Chains A and B, each alone.
Chain A
Amino acid sequence: DAGVIQSPRHEVTEMGQEVTLRCKPISGHDYLFWYRQTMMRGLELLIYFNNNVPIDDSGMPEDRFSAKMPNASFSTLKIQPSEPRDSAVYFCASSLNSGRSYEQYFGPGTRLTVT
């Protein structure tokens, strides 16, 4: 298995632009998580899905952030408009909880820089 795939790996954009981050979870996994990591705030859970349905989006910073999971093999995290304070590494992770394994598998992350 290729593991969790994220694209792009690096994104540099100007303030005000729309940014779309993509994630392909491990095949068969029923949970998908989006995290943001910064030096100041550590690893923050933004939103997670179970069987493509958003379960908890309380970590989404504000309305500029939105996430979708149109099918079991694809999810997007969109920031519109982007701001310099959104600069961070964004991770996608997936897990299989139906079998009670609980452990999460992380992608390599997308390093976002907003200038």
Chain B
Amino acid sequence: SQQGEEDPQALSIQEGENATMNCSYKTSINNLQWYRQNSGRGLVHLILIRSNEREKHSGRLRVTLDTSKKSSSLLITASRAADTASYFCATGGSSNTGKLIFGQGTTLQVKP
């Protein structure tokens, strides 16, 4: 079964607005990662946050992690049409096997 549950499943916004996606998971983790998938392409790693971190930034991306609530959020600020894609959270287990469990993803559409 999938570890991560993402919310919402689909999101449509105007260019320039912020987009927030949420991910919840069930078991203890070592790290949580976010990936982007453009239509017809492979997944691309965006950002990784470790279990002992609460917030991380990378350019227009901001990720938060709340291990007490077993949840994470990805914020994309000042969205662009090129941000249109599916976004997946993935969790790495506390046993550190290298394996990731992916959520079902959020489909983001940014309208120009």
Contacts and interface: CB of A to CB of B under 8 A. Distances in A.
A43 B42 contact: no
Contacts of B42: 4, 91, 93, 106-109
Contacts of A108: 41-42
A50 B96 CA distance: 12
B10 interface: no
Interface in A14-73: 31, 33, 35, 42-43, 45, 48, 50, 55-56
B43 interface: yes
For chain B, give the interface size range: 20 to 34
Contact of B48 (A43, A103, A106, A107): A103
Considering residues A33, A97, A103, which has the most beta carbons from chain B within 10 angstroms of its beta carbon? A103
B102 interface: yes
Main DSSP-derived SS at the B contact region: strand
Contacts of A104: 43, 45, 90, 100
For chain A, give the interface size range: 20 to 34
Nearest to B92: A102
A49 to B, nearest CB: 10
Given A42-B103, A93-B43, A102-B98, 10 more contacts: A31-B98, A43-B102, A45-B102, A56-B99, A102-B30, A103-B48, A104-B90, A106-B35, A106-B44, A109-B41
30 contacts: A31-B98, A33-B100, A35-B102, A42-B2, A42-B102, A42-B104, A43-B43, A43-B88, A43-B102, A45-B99, A45-B100, A45-B101, A48-B99, A50-B98, A55-B99, A56-B99, A93-B42, A93-B43, A102-B30, A102-B31, A102-B48, A102-B98, A104-B43, A104-B45, A104-B100, A106-B43, A106-B44, A107-B42, A108-B41, A109-B41
